[in-house]
Structure formats: structure tokens, C-alpha cells
């Protein structure tokens, strides 16, 4: 049997009404696993509660827990109509909030934090499951903590997941409608863990790969990936088809709609990913698959918060091994490099995580001269870029002719041309490219 995976993000389960609306998007005769995020705002609220608990500010923690509980009481009263399910809903909240409350008593460590962060997805899935039950619709709630597991490298343990997910499914051979939690998992020691913020997309992709799903659908509030950032430029259009490589570039370089980690498991297992809009379910959305898409530029994306580092040394001239020495410093500090450009005596590179910058710079300073520019933005043009045709590079640079470019990267892959600009030029750059590459004014 082939399952469909349908993942709904926080806003798609953000109110009682939105939870009710899921029924007509999920209930049909296709065998499926529905993956839910926490209701929007919940994970942030839980993070806030944990911050207070770390500080041992019990009064502040209690106030925030009470406020969150109040919100859920309202959800229950709007979601259920029968006394039986109103009581069931209240018991559910009592259980989860008593559990959260219990951490205000003892020591607070990262393990307790992870147990608290797991409550959001446990709540949203249980609420949807109860709502279906109240409507007389059969569904099975699969506890993600029984099969989602990370290995010792903190990567999904695909063999374990496949085996234990199938075991769970086999307990319910008469069912075709399953619901489970996104984001939460266990680590290699069996402790509660998570796939990091926004990780529910990743859950969907991992599950799809584990059971060889027919398709992985990611439902959000926009009709697929757009050719440019709709928050910045006034005219955009959804992209109907993307290859996995194009989607990976876009997701990584700022298209907020899909978490970048989500692409890899689906790509490896060759399972199509479809981005759909809960507000407009009939809209085609975006299909991401192992396909050769048409030639040309598909989209522009931007990633802020970039730090550019230029390493300059006369020793680089005609020498070998210099780049390795530089890159090793970043490796030692577990900092990944995104963009690179070189000249004969210098190399410029960018990082998006400046946590270890101070130590990195100290070490580079021992072998070379180094300069740093903060507040940079990578603007990335993605598509199938023709190798043997001229003109595209020119078009990109022509569109950006009035903007100072800090770095230009062309030819690293046939899917991406990137430029680095000061973040103050981001809006102008996205608008100029929308005009130059898509003729949108
Ligand atoms: N609830 C988690 C978060 O807000 C995971 C997710 O929504 O994907 O980060
Ligand atoms: Mg989310």
C-alpha cells in the first residue's frame, strides 16, 4: 500500500476553526499519514517558558504557562460541542499542562526543555484526533516518539524509523488514516529530542522516505514557492515545477516556505514533494521532483544575516595548501561556508552562523590578513541555467548595475548565480531583478 504524507504547519492548525478545516483537506479514501506542527505560537511560547525555567524565575514561568493554558481552554471550547468531548479535551489539557508544570519543581536541564518543547505537537495532534472522533471519523494517532529517532550523529536513523513505523502501522491493518507529530523525536539514547525549529517539514520528508510514500505534501498559507519574495516585491507568481536541486537552493537561500532539510530525504528516495495552500486547496502549488525542468531562471531568493570574510595573503600566490588551511579553521569551529570567490592572493567567503566568528578570526589572523563585513545579504538567482548560451550573467549584472556588489558567484552549479550585497540593498536588488529577469514593474 502506498501512503500519502500530508504535513500541515502551525498556521494551518492555528485556531479551532483551522483544525476543523483540516477535515475536508484530509478525509478521503487515500491511505495517508497526516503530520502536524504545533498550533502557531505554541512552540515560541514553550521556548519562552523554558527561558524562565532556566532562570529559575518560577513566577514568570507560571504566568506564561497560565496564559498558554488559557489560549488552549478557548480552543477546546470552540472545537468541541458535546459534553463528552469537552471533558476529554479538558482532561487532555490537564495532562499536558500538569506535565509542563511539573518541571517548575526540580532541576532544569536541556532534557527537561526538550520534553516541554514536545508538548505543542502532542497537543495539536491529539486535538485533531479527538475532533475527528467527535465527528465520527476514524483515525489512528501514531506516537512519533515510538519511531522517530536520531542516530549518534544526530541524523535520522532511517532503518530504525522504517522498522518501527511499519510496526506501528501493522498494529492497525484496518486503518488508512493516521496522524502523527512533526518535529519531535528521540535521540540515540532514547531521550526526547526534536528536529530543530521548523522541523516538521523534515519529519514529513523522513516519513515519506521511510515508507516509500506516493507523495509528500507540505501545506502552508501560500500557493507554493514564488519567483520572488512577495513581502518585498509587489508582483510575483507561483512556480509550478522545480527540480530537487533548484528547490534546495531556494529553500536554503531564503524561500521561507520549505525547510531546507526537507529536500534531502525526499530526493534520495525519489519521492515528489508538493507544496499546497490550505487557503486555496485547488491551486496547483509547486511540485518538486526528480524532473528536468525547463531552461531559464525560475526564482530569486534572498538570505539575510550573512557575514563576509576576506582572507588575504601573499603566501597564497603560487602556493598550494593555503585554502585547505583556511577551510580547516572553519571546519574545526563547525561553521559551514556558503559562498566563495577567489583571486590569486585573496579568498572571500560567507557564513550565516557567526557564533564562532571571534575564534575563527583569531586563527585566520595567524596565517593571513583578514577583513570582515557584517549585515550582508545573499541574493540568489535559481533555475536551469544554460551552460552553452550567453547572456544570462549579463542580464543579472545589468539588472544590478546600480548596486554595489560585494561578491559574485557564477558557475558553481548550473542552478544558481549568487551575489552578495549589503543588506541595505536587498529590497532594491530584489526589485531590480524582478524587473530585469521577469519584466515585472
Ligand atoms: N513547532 C515547531 C516549530 O515551531 C516545528 C514546526 O513547526 O515545524 O519550530
Ligand atoms: Mg512551522
| Ligand 2 center to 37 CA (angstroms) | 6
Supply the pLDDT for residue 398. 96
Ligand 2 (ion): residues with CB under 5 Å are: 9-10, 37
> Is 309 a domain residue?
yes
Q: Is the pLDDT of residue 322 over 90?
A: no
Task: Cite the beta strand spans of 158-295 per DSSP E.
Answer: 177-181, 184-186, 192-194, 215-220, 241-243, 273-277, 286-289
Domain end point (choices 220, 247, 277): 220
Please tell me whether residues 208 and 320 are part of one structural domain: no
Task: Cite the beta strand spans of 328-426 per DSSP E.
Answer: 337-342, 346-351, 369-384, 407-413, 416-422
Tell me, using a 6 A CB cutoff, whether residue 120 lines ligand 1: yes
Question: How many Cα atoms occupy the beta-carbon half-sphere of 357 within 13 Å?
Answer: 17
> Is 246 a domain residue?
no
CB atoms within 10 A of CB 45: 17
> Is 289 a domain residue?
no
> Is 353 a domain residue?
yes
Q: What is the pLDDT of residues 72-118, one digit of tens each?
A: 999 999 999 999 999 999 999 999 999 999 988 778 999 999 999 99
Is the sign of the CA dihedral 95, 97, 100, 104 positive or negative?
Answer: negative
Domain end point (choices 155, 190, 220): 220
**Tell me, what DSSP letter sits at residue 193?**
E
| Ligand 2 center to 41 CA (angstroms) | 9
Count of domains in the chain?
2
Q: Which domain holds residue 368?
A: 298-438
Tell me, using a 6 A CB cutoff, whether residue 183 lines ligand 1: yes
Q: What would you report as the CA-atom Rg of the chain, rounded to the nearest whole angstrom?
A: 24
Gap between the Cα atoms of 119 and 100, Å rounded: 8
> Is 228 a domain residue?
no
Q: Is residue 334 classed as helix, strand or coil in its secondary structure?
A: coil
Whichever domain contains 179, its CATH number is 3.40.1160.10
Domain end point (choices 165, 193, 220): 220
Q: What is the pLDDT of residues 257-282, one digit of tens each?
A: 788 888 899 999 999 999 999 999 99
Q: Is the pLDDT of residue 26 over 90?
A: yes
H/E element, 378: strand 369-384
> Is 373 a domain residue?
yes
Residue 238 near residue 295 (C-beta atoms within 8 A): no
Amino acid at each position: 500500500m502506498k501512503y500519502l504524507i500530508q504535513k500541515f504547519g502551525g498556521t494551518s492548525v492555528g485556531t479551532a476553526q483551522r483544525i476543523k478545516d483540516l477535515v475536508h483537506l484530509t478525509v478521503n479514501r487515500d491511505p495517508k499519514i497526516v503530520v502536524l506542527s504545533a498550533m502557531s505560537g505554541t512552540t515560541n511560547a514553550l521556548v519562552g517558558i523554558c527561558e524562565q525555567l532556566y532562570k529559575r524565575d518560577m513566577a514568570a514561568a507560571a504566568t506564561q504557562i497560565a496564559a498558554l493554558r488559557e489560549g488552549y481552554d478557548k480552543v477546546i471550547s470552540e472545537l468541541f460541542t458535546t459534553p463528552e468531548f469537552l471533558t476529554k479535551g479538558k482532561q487532555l489539557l490537564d495532562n499536558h499542562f500538569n506535565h509542563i508544570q511539573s518541571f517548575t519543581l526540580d532541576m532544569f536541564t536541556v532534557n527537561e526543555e526538550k520534553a516541554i518543547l514536545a508538548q505543542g505537537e502532542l497537543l495539536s495532534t491529539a486535538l485533531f484526533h479527538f475532533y475527528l472522533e467527535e465527528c465520527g471519523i476514524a483515525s489512528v494517532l501514531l506516537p512519533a516518539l515510538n519511531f522517530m529517532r536520531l542516530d549518534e550523529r544526530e541524523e535520522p536513523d532511517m532503518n530504525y524509523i522504517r522498522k518501527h513505523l511499519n510496526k506501528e502501522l501493522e498494529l492497525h491493518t484496518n486503518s488508512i488514516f493516521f496522524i502523527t507529530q512533526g518535529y519531535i523525536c528521540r535521540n540515540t539514547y532514547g531521550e526526547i529530542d526534536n528536529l530543530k525549529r521548523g522541523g516538521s517539514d523534515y519529519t514529513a520528508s523522513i516519513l515519506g522516505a521511510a515508507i516509500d510514500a506516493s507523495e509528500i505534501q507540505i501545506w502552508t498559507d501560500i500557493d507554493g514557492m514564488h519567483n520572488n519574495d512577495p513581502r518585498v516585491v509587489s508582483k510575483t507568481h507561483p512556480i509550478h515545477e522545480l527540480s530537487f536541486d533548484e528547490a534546495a537552493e531556494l529553500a536554503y537561500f531564503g524561500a521561507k516556505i520549505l525547510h531546507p532539510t526537507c529536500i534531502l530525504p525526499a530526493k534520495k528516495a525519489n519521492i515528489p514533494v508538493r507544496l499546497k495552500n490550505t487557503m486555496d486547496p485547488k491551486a496547483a502549488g509547486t511540485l518538486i521532483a526528480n524532473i528536468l525542468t525547463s531552461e531559464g531562471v525560475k526564482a530569486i531568493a534572498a538570505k539575510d544575516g550573512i557575514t563576509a570574510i576576506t582572507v588575504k595573503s601573499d603566501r597564497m600566490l603560487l602556493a598550494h595548501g593555503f585554502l585547505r588551511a583556511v577551510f580547516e579553521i572553519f571546519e574545526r569551529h563547525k561553521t559551514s561556508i556558503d559562498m566563495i570567490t577567489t583571486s590569486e592572493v585573496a579568498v572571500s567567503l560567507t557564513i550565516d552562523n557567526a557564533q564562532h566568528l571571534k575564534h575563527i578570526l583569531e586563527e585566520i589572523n595567524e596565517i593571513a590578513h583578514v577583513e570582515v563585513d557584517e549585515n550582508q545579504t545573499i541574493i540568489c538567482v535559481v533555475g536551469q541555467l544554460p551552460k552553452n548560451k550567453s547572456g544570462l550573467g549579463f542580464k543579472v549584472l545589468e539588472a544590478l548595475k546600480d548596486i554595489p556588489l560585494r561578491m559574485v558567484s557564477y558557475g558553481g552549479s548550473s542552478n544558481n548565480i549568487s551575489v552578495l550585497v549589503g543588506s541595505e540593498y536587498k529590497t532594491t536588488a530584489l526589485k531590480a531583478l524582478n524587473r530585469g529577469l521577469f519584466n515585472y514593474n
